[in-house]
Each structure stands twice: as structure tokens, then as C-alpha cells.
Amino acid sequence: MKVTIAQINTTNGDIAGNTAKIVDAIAKARRQGSDLVVFPELVTHGYTSQDWFQDRDIISHVDDALTAIVPATAGITAIVGTVRRNEDNDGRRLYNSAAVITDGKLVGFADKSLLPEYDVFDDPRWFEPSPPGSYRLFDVAGKKIGVVVCEDFWNDKTFWKDRLYETDPTDEVIKLGADVLVSINASPYNKGKIRLRCDMVAHRAKLQKLPIVFVNLIGGNDGIVFDGASLIADEEGDIILQAPAFEEFVETVELDVRKPDARGITGGEIASIHNALVLGIRDYAQKNGFKRALLGLSGGIDSALVAALATEALGPENVLCVMMPSPFSSTGSIADSEELVKNLGCESRLEPISDAFEILLKQLNLHKPTKGGESLAAENMQSRLRGLILMAISNAEGRLLLSTGNKSELAVGYCTLYGDTNGGLAVLGDVLKTEVWAISRELNERAGREVIPNRIIDKPPSAELAPNQKDEDSLPPYPVMDPILEMYFEQKASPDEIVAAGHDRERVYWILNKVEHPANEFKRQQLPPTIIVSKNAIGIGRRRPITHKYRRQA
């Protein structure tokens, strides 16, 4: 049997556009002689459509997409992630489903049973779980096909040490006598996820002696990036078709080909983060109608990396870098920024803030800083003046403003609300400072030249809001702080576990109380959408109160 992976990039709510892509992919699969073409979860409507799935207009037109797709399946079977109406009076109005369509006829649905509500997921808010005992098989080209939707595949007791659910729908489908298992997914990217999926699919295929077709969504949707990296494993657990990550992909393979394929598992994790950020920028801009972007270029590594990523995502002709020196900006920062702009080939603009800063100091009777932290209002006013200029240019020229703050700074509140937090998209909001350096070096290595000047990469980090200011005047060194933040956010480690890993107790508690301080949570909840590249990230999946009195005691 020939099977096609149809890893396509969808847009939330663009039902007509998504349907057209589905129909085109079906036609391509047919030309390739495929028997079965498989699409990701909820490709008709977009997985991150959120409360649109409660909208009465969406519910009343729930069949529109399938009405257009069904006639396109002449001579082929398509499994399409979609929604179907719950005809009962009880429960949510929609099921999250896989529609199975054969030769112009809708054969049936496989509804999602396990509905995740952790991290970025909130499925029980929108969907009704599949009715008990509704599992079934579908006949395709003489094979019995078992179909499961995303989370229903992710609860294998032989693979996971800790499971979230007692039942395993995939086991139930296998017990019915499936010859081939199909899993359709909208599994977001985070560090380590691509390899994890490969291991999980290969493990189950080998254990059950069953070919598995695992298809995943591709594309950026707000801050969530889906990487694709779909795959097919044969009954020996060998990967015989591997879709590349972060790209659309429609390709066919014979299930018994017995030829390993590892195209999608190339490069290291830093390269994957790089690719996720580029896709996140490109899709957020394009899907929201922006052709051009801008950012403030300070001469530091964060803004330099954002400029390089934006240039890769949108083209150098569509990126504007604005340099806004203040009385405390070093001449080296301006020179380094000019060199970066030359290397990137993008547009630049000089908009000094010194005169406006002096006027406002006098008007507001503020003291000009003579050292870091002496006059925070005056320090922050420089950042807010820059934010004002950038937002004015964005407004006047229709450019998407990219925020440049990194996760390490945002975690502990080392940022200025309505200043450097301004923007339409926080590119590095889930990227630790040490990862910023690593991605910058990887970017230069990938290009085979010094795109980001090494002087920018190697210079000590500084906000340059006061004379001779350095980040380490206010914060622990980033190589010391970042491992603590990584354990806290990504592993949900307790303070004792972090200390046991070799970190200083006093420093651990200082950092965690900084992260959890109401003032810093207040800032983070006003950030632009953040491109997510890790588990438990700053962004849509993190839910904490602003108003609280909880403090950790060492």
C-alpha cells in the first residue's frame, strides 16, 4: 500500500484557504499513485483556533470544508483532521475528529478521546471526548486501518514512565486487529520534541509489529510553532519516510519499502531552535498581513540576532533596523550595528534620543544616572523613548515591530514595560541568553561567514542606560543563571532539586523569587505573543496570578 504524508501549513479560521491546500495535496498524492493520503489534526480549521470552536457561526458551518473535500477524493482515501458536530444536547458542541473519506464518500470519523489541558493545550474547553466504545477500523486498499487523533497516541504505558490518563485509545484500536495505525497530530515544537516523537513512534511500531503513519502539523500560529517532522515507521520500527522539519511536505512511500530515511533528523537542537524562530517570524508576519518589519538595533547580541533571523524570514529588503543612541551608548555599539546592517543588507535608520531625553529630564525634574540603578525612572525613560519611536514608525509605515528581549531578562524582570517590551512579536522571549549566543554562533557557521560580528557576540551584555553599566551589576552571570531558569521552567524542578544539582541555595531562591515577583509577572502578561521553543515556556501556556504574596523561603 502506498501512503502519502501531507504535512501542510494552515491558517486559523481560513477554512476556504486550508481546504484548497487539502484538495491540492490530495491531487498530488493521486498523481504519485497513492492509496492513502494523511493530513494533520484539525487542518480544515487550524488547531490553535481556540474559542472560535465555541462560535455559533463556526459550528453551524462545520460541514463546509468536508463538502468541498469529499468530491476531490475520487480513486483515493484521505484522512483529514477536522471537527464534527455533537448532535446530543449535552457537552461541547464539537468533536475533534479525523474524517476518513474514500473515493468521493465520507466513510466515517475517528473522534479524539483524550483531551489535553496542560501547557498550551485546552481541548476540554472546546471539544467533547469521543463516545465510549466508538473505536473502529477502516478498510483501505485491502488493509484494516486504525486511526487515532494526537493525544490518543501519546499514552503508551510501555514508553512513558508517567502517564496522564488511565486508558490508551491506541491500544484499543490495535486490539481490533489493525494492519496499519495512523496518528494525526498538531504537536508543537519544543526542544527535544523531534527526536522524542521518532523514538516514540519507532518503539510502538516495533513492539506491536505494526506500520505507523504519524503526521504532524507545520507552521507558526501566534507564538506556537508546529515543526512537522512527520514520519512513517515499518513493523520493524525503522523510519521509512521522514518529512523535513519546518517545511511543507507532500510525499509518498510504499509501506514495505524497508529503506530507512532520516532526512528530517538533521542538525542539532540549536539549529532547530533557529529554524523554529525563522518560521515563527515568517508565518506571524505573513498570516497577519505584514510584509515588512522593524526592530531597535542596540549593538547588543539580542537585537543583532533578531535582525539576522528577521532578514532570513522576510528578506533583507523588508527589514528596517533603527539605531537610537542615547548619552550612554558607546561608539562601539553604533559601529557594530552599522557593520551588522552592512552584513545583512537590510535598511537602517538613525534616530537619536539624546535631545528628547534631556528635555524630559528637565521637564520631569529627574536626575540623569551617574551609575546603574541610581535613577531607574531616567534609565527606563530612555527605553520608553525608543519604544515610542519604534511604535510610531510601525504605525506610520505598516511594519511589524519585533521585540528583542530574551527569556533570561524577561524571567527576572530585567526589562522595561512600554519600552523594550513593545512590539507585535517577542522573538526571543523563550530563548535563554546562553542560547542566544549559541544560535548566533550557529548562524555564522551556517552562513560560512561573520554575519553577526564577533565583537557583538563577545562583548559583555549591557543595557547602556547608565555610565559603564553591565548586566552583571544587577544579575548573576548568565551562564550561572540560565541553568537554574531552565530547571525551573522546563523541568518544573523544585528549589531543593535545583540546589541538589549543584547550584548555590541563596542564588536559587533569589532568582526564583525574582521570577515569581508580582511586578515581573505583571510585565510578562503584557508581552507580545512569544515564539515558544521549550516546554512550560513564558507565553500562552504559563498561567500565574499577578496579585499574590507567595515568597519562597530558603
Cα distances (Å, whole numbers) of residue 265 to 120, 197, 237, 279, 475? 25, 11, 16, 17, 37
d(CA 115, CA 502): 38
Determine the Cα–Cα distance for residues 136 and 144; give it in Å rounded to an integer. Answer: 10
Burial class (CB in 10 A: 0-12, 13-18, 19+), 41: buried
Contact call for residues 212 and 230 (beta carbons, < 8 A): no
The alpha carbon of 15 is separated from its chain's Cα centroid by a whole number of angstroms, namely 22
Whether the CA torsion 70, 72, 77, 79 is positive or negative: it is negative
For residue 138, which of 106, 96, 104 has the smallest C-alpha distance? 106
First to last CA, the chain: 61
Contact, 359 vs 368, CB < 8 A?
no
Which of 112, 191, 193, 287 does the annotation list as catalytic?
112
How far, in Å, CA of 208 to CA of 181, rounded? Answer: 10
Q: Is 198 considered catalytic here? A: no
Active site residue 150: yes
Catalytic residue selected from 41, 312, 435, 464: 41
Catalytic status, residue 112:
yes
Q: How far is residue 429's CA from residue 396's CA, in Å, rounded to a whole number? A: 26
Q: What are all long-range contacts of 193-201, with beta carbons under 8 Å and residues at least 24 apart? A: 193/227, 194/227, 194/229, 194/245, 194/264, 194/265, 194/272, 195/265, 197/229, 197/231, 198/229, 198/231, 198/239, 198/242, 198/265, 199/159, 200/154, 200/156, 200/159, 201/231, 201/233, 201/239
Radius of gyration of the chain from its Cα atoms, rounded to whole angstroms: 25
Q: C-alpha angle with apex 151: 146 to 153, nearest 5 degrees?
A: 40
Q: Judging by DSSP bridges, how do beta strands 400-403 and 425-426 pair with one another?
A: parallel
Angle between helices 354-364 and 376-397 (to 10 degrees): 130
Collapsing DSSP to helix, strand or coil, 330 comes out as coil
Q: Can you tell me the distance from the alpha carbon of 398 to that of 294, in angstroms, rounded to the nearest whole number? A: 10
The one catalytic residue in 21, 128, 150, 191 is 150
3-state SS record for 515-553? HCCHHHHHHHCCCCCECCCCCCCCCCCCCCCCCCCCCCC
- Name the grid cell of 44: 480544515
Which residues are part of the catalytic machinery? Answer: 41, 112, 150
